[in-house]
Amino acid sequence: MNDPNSISNPLRKRPAKRRGFMLLFAISEGVRGALSSIRAHAFRSFLTTLGIIIGVASVIAMVSIIQGLSYTIDQQFQGLGSNSVTVQAYTPFAQQIQGRRSTLTQDDLDVIRYRVDGIASITPILNLQNGFSQVRYGAQTTVAQVLGTTYTYQDVAQYYSQLGRFISDSDNQTRRRVAIIGEDVREDLALPEDPRGEFIQVNGEWIRVIGLLEPKGEILGQSQDNRVIMPFSTMVSLVGNRSRPNIAIQLALADVETLPVTREIIRRLLRSSRNLAPDEEDDFRIQTPEQLTATLDTIISTATVVMAGVVSISLLVGGIGIMNIMLVSVTERTREIGICKAIGAKRHHILLQFLLEALMLCFLGGVIGLAIGYGVGAAAAAIIPGFPDAHTPAWAIALALGFSLLVGLVFGILPAAKAAKLDPITALRYE
């Protein structure tokens, strides 16, 4: 015979199981009653949840547009190579107002090339006229990014030819007037689909096209296919001796894990070779795709939080509307509450019923707002020319619905508590 005091005695488990069953039954009945009440006053319920719908729709639309932009930027930066490092000249503001201008030279390139270990490829980059110049072909004219570099640029920057060939070491050694162009340049100049052998004019000089680059699309709204790439030595001859060439240095590391250490080594070597005092600011910048991505992500995340915080005010306004209509509902159903209590309903049953109704109102409003917000975000992204598709992350959906339920809980507890505290005799006498 089982010991009635034994912990394993199944007779002692029945009350707990029964309480759990009764709680689930009360919740299911509360949800059913809440849906019935909402359906019975459909238009009033819609107006009540309008603040929640607008708030959630605004948040989701804003987040989907911003996160779509962030997602696209991350995808674009992945194509730059995680082991890529770019060194560029930088002039501090104090020197700018003095008319001074910092430059990187061949000596800086040699310091990095010969004194830094672990470099797989390195190349100088020289831009013509601040990067962009007029390019002509027959009667057609366009503005393109014109730069001079070496054969290793295709490995460092991941630019490869789809037709013809890339510039070679012999092109650099002999200063050949040749170039490989991007797809946008070919289209703007109305060049043949295979432009090899055609001659274009760059800065008044005739250049023969030897290849066509693989299309890479846009990054941050700027085309990566609007380029004319020439041999570095040819570009130096085009720039001439009128100004001191200011080159950029781009390199790829053999092991991406060494990137932080290599960045610091490059920084120290350049400071030493450029005779910078300990208290002087760097007159160069060392950048990696991860740094740019991290900076943009920080800006986008901050904008998302700020805008979501501003838009969320409408959710609070919607919560006040929920509380107001629930107080009205308690007043309208006073006799019903009295009858329920008279036939044995407990305070927590009444509390649960009205609280579930407030939660259901907010949840349904959140779902409707979610659908509307995603549609608005997708439509806005489609209307704006060149803007990336909207992207709604799972955390934004969970946050919007969770915040809607939180609003329902916070603003529904007061009316529910008021209903639960009603005296059954007084409630039955209410007219």
pLDDT reported for residue 180: 94
pLDDT band at 242 (very low <50, low <70, confident <90, very high): low
Question: 């120290």: which residue's tokens?
Answer: 268
Given this model, what pLDDT does residue 177 score?
93
Closest CA to 167 of 181, 184, 150: 150
Residue 427 has pLDDT above 60, yes or no: no
Residue 164 or residue 71, greater confidence: 164
C-alpha to C-alpha distance for 248 and 246, rounded to whole angstroms: 7
Percent of the chain with pLDDT over 70: 79
Query: Cα dihedral sign for 399, 400, 402, 406?
Result: positive
* Whole-number pLDDT of residue 245: 75
Given a cut of 50, whether residue 6 has pLDDT beyond it is no
pLDDT score, position 212: 92
Query: Residue 2 — very low, low, confident or very high, per pLDDT cuts 50/70/90?
Result: very low
More confident residue, 383 or 220: 383
The three state secondary structure string of the chain is CCCCCCCCCHHHCHHHHHHHHHHHHHHHHHHHHHHHHHHHCHHHHHHHHHHHHHHHHHHHHHHHHHHHHHHHHHHHHHCCCCCEEEEEECCCHHHHCCCCCCCCCHHHHHHHHHHCCCEEEEEEEEEEEEEEEEEEECCEEEEEEEEEECCCHHHHCCCCEEEECCCCHHHHHHCCCEEEECHHHHHHCCCCCCCCCCEEEECCEEEEEEEEECCCCEECCEECCCEEEEEHHHHHHHHCCCCCCCCEEEEEECCHHHHHHHHHHHHHHHHHHCCCCCCCCCCEEEECHHHHHHHHHHHHHHHHHHHHHHHCHHHHHHHHHHHHHHHHHHHHCHHHHHHHHHCCCCHHHHHHHHHHHHHHHHHHHHHHHHHHHHHHHHHHHHHCCCCCCCCCCHHHHHHHHHHHHHHHHHHHHHHHHHHHCCCHHHHHHCC
Percent of the chain clearing pLDDT 90 (strictly above): 14
Highest mean pLDDT among 25-39, 172-186, 241-255, 390-404: 172-186
pLDDT digits (tens, 9 = 90+) for 188-215: 999 999 999 999 998 888 999 999 998 8
Q: Is the pLDDT of residue 34 over 70?
A: no
Q: What is the pTM of this model?
A: 0.60
